[in-house]
Copies of this chain bind each other. A is one copy, B any other.
Amino acid sequence: MLDLYQKQTKCLVALDSIIFGFDGEKLKLLLIKRGIEANESTWSLMGGWLQENESLDEAAERIVYKLTGLRNLYLEQVLAFGQPKRDPIERTVSVTYFALINTTVYLQTSELEYEGQWFDIDKLPHLLFDHIDMVNTSIKRLRNKAAFHPVGFELLPEKFTLPQLLNLYEAIFDQVFDRRNFSRKMIASGFISRLNEKQKGVSKKGAFFYKFNKTTQDNTFYLIPGINSLV
């Protein structure tokens, strides 16, 4: 039995993190320049290797912490990438995770060590290896997530206005939504509550602030009509 295991090829297992951010206007991606790669002008996702005694989730958390200085982020495994030649140095299977960050709380200090930089999602530079496939797959997953789950919890500040929420969804889906319909559906969904406080200095009338109702965040909650509409 042990013999059967010993005959098998071993691989390196890497983790690459797709770190999405929202600055109130645009969906962003955090990239670094990895010192170890030959071409220093190529940008890369933040990555690292799985260590002996950690789970994949723990490894992803450790790696994202190293770049952002943030813990307890929203992290979701997206897909394992395993083309034989994807890393030219050694056979490496990479398990990707995406993270969601409100860029206003992102600690800029860690940018220096890794030369981290935010890029607009629609203006990405050339990326290392198959990293662009990882990014594109993660954007699809993020959209899927956003259709069922209030991702705003992670990407927006605690208090936000309806125009800010609309900006976020338009940035994620890369399309323009009808403002009135969007607001009506969001309010009707029951997962945001209006505060008795208005944003100042943006418009004359002032937009009300809202907050997310974290208690609605359970399995049966759908931002858009879910499978229950089949019943």
Contacts and interface: CB of A to CB of B under 8 A. Distances in A.
A163 to B, nearest CB: 15
A18 interface: no
A90 B5 contact: yes
Instruction: Please give the count of copies of this chain that the complex contains.
Output: 2
A181 B230 contact: yes
Given A8-B12, A10-B11, A82-B50, A93 B91 contact: no
A93 B93 contact: yes
A97 to B, nearest CB: 10
Contacts of A55: 82-84
A53 B224 contact: no
A151 interface: no
B230 A177 contact: yes
A202 interface: no
B230 A93 contact: no
Among A1, A54, A82, A93, the most chain B Cβ lie within 10 Å of the Cβ of: A82
